[in-house]
Amino acid sequence: MPIMEMKRDRASWIKGPSAQCVPPPVAAQPPRRLVLLGAPGVGKGTQAELLASHYGACHLSTGDIFRAAKALDAGERTPALSAALDYMRKGELVPDETVLALVAERIGCLRCDGGFLLDGFPRTVAQAEALEQLLKKENITIDAVLSYDLPLERVVARLSGRRTCANCKAVFHIETRPSKVEGVCDQCGGKLYQREDDRPEAIRVRMEAYDKSTSPLAEFYRKRNLLVSVPAEGSPREIFDRSTVLLKARGR
Ligand code: AP5
């Protein structure tokens, strides 16, 4: 199993197709192609990092594209991206057409022989249908859709204590996964910050959007025999082990 020695910067995904990933992706045998589902804050990003380093696949988060766009000067952003940041700040979903245009531009990341872990996309049935069409055209199949489940109050506790690295996007928690030095990323020494949409009023809006638009995706993928439900209780490592055991049981 290929193990990533150095965290990939995912530049082609985060900045767009003209940017080159460093280090470049390594072809995996076979490449893993997984989708991660679950409520905001359930731990998808944390699991995606662990799975990415285990399988050598790239962690592709649509939220990371928007957060990277925030760092650009207003003049460097397209009007659609600036509007997307307003939706995100409030905790609302970004319109499907904006998200789909960004993903279609980054089709090279889905074709990549290193494989992928999609986190935060798709998030609506329309996005899932569009992804299905996109992958069909490319002759690419998804191995499985991991759906992480946890009671709401536990999810909110995970969100409120989250800290994220402004540089490499690594995720910490002030109680359950603290960095060695407060406010400093263990992986790259970058500065840790609290996400704007982790404020209580934005968390409420995000949970409503999840219930209404994203939770129906479990049924969408169950019907396609791709859904793997993973209880998200326990430590990140325990949940990771559970995920890989469940994937192995499916022959993946
Ligand atoms: P996005 O970035 O996708 O955020 P999200 O889905 O809300 O998910 P989060 O990143 O908040 O949580 P997570 O499940 O990854 O949890 P994490 O691992 O960090 O989207 C943000 C916004 O962008 C959306 O609201 C929307 O506006 C927009 N957007 C993005 N994609 C879109 C799309 N496709 N369509 C429309 N709009 C889109 O963990 C959380 C915390 O818990 C961390 O502190 C972590 O350390 C801790 N933790 C993790 N696991 C454990 C554990 N086992 N035990 C204890 N603590 C744990």
All residues at 6 or more sequence positions from 171 whose CB lies less than 8 Å from its CB, including other chains: 45, 46, 49, 162, 163, 164, 165, 177
Q: State in Å: Cα 161 to ligand 1 middle.
A: 12
pLDDT tens-place string over residues 34-52? 999 999 999 999 999 999 9
Q: What is the mean pLDDT of the chain?
A: 93
Q: State in Å: Cα 23 to ligand 1 middle.
A: 25
Euclidean distance between CA atoms 65 and 113, whole angstroms: 21
With a cut of 90, say whether residue 78 has pLDDT above it.
Answer: no
Residues of the chain with pLDDT > 90, as a percent, come to 78
Mean pLDDT, residues 124-129 taken together:
98
For residue 6, what pLDDT band results from cuts at 50, 70 and 90? low
Nearest-5° Cα angle at 85, 79 to 90? 135
With a cut of 70, say whether residue 158 has pLDDT above it.
Answer: yes
* Rg, C-alpha atoms of the chain: 17
For residue 71, what pLDDT band results from cuts at 50, 70 and 90? confident
Q: Which atom of ligand 1 is nearest to the CA of 198?
A: 11
Query: What's the full length of the chain, in residues?
Result: 252
Tell me what pLDDT residue 186 has: 96
With a cut of 70, say whether residue 105 has pLDDT above it.
Answer: yes
Q: Which atom of ligand 1 is nearest to the CA of 64?
A: 2
Active site residues: 44, 123, 162, 195, 206
Nearest CA, atom 29, ligand 1:
63
* DSSP, residue by residue, 88-137: HHHTPPPPHHHHHHHHHHTHHHHH-TTEEEEES---SHHHHHHHHHHHHH
Nearest CA, atom 7, ligand 1:
40
Instruction: Provide φ and ψ at 146, rounded to 5°.
Output: -90, 120
Report the candidate in 88, 124, 201 with the shortest Cα–Cα distance to residue 80: 88
Tell me what pLDDT residue 241 has: 98
Tell me what pLDDT residue 108 has: 95
Q: State in Å: Cα 42 to ligand 1 middle.
A: 7
pLDDT tens-place string over residues 182-209? 999 999 999 999 998 998 889 999 999 9
Tell me what pLDDT residue 1 has: 38
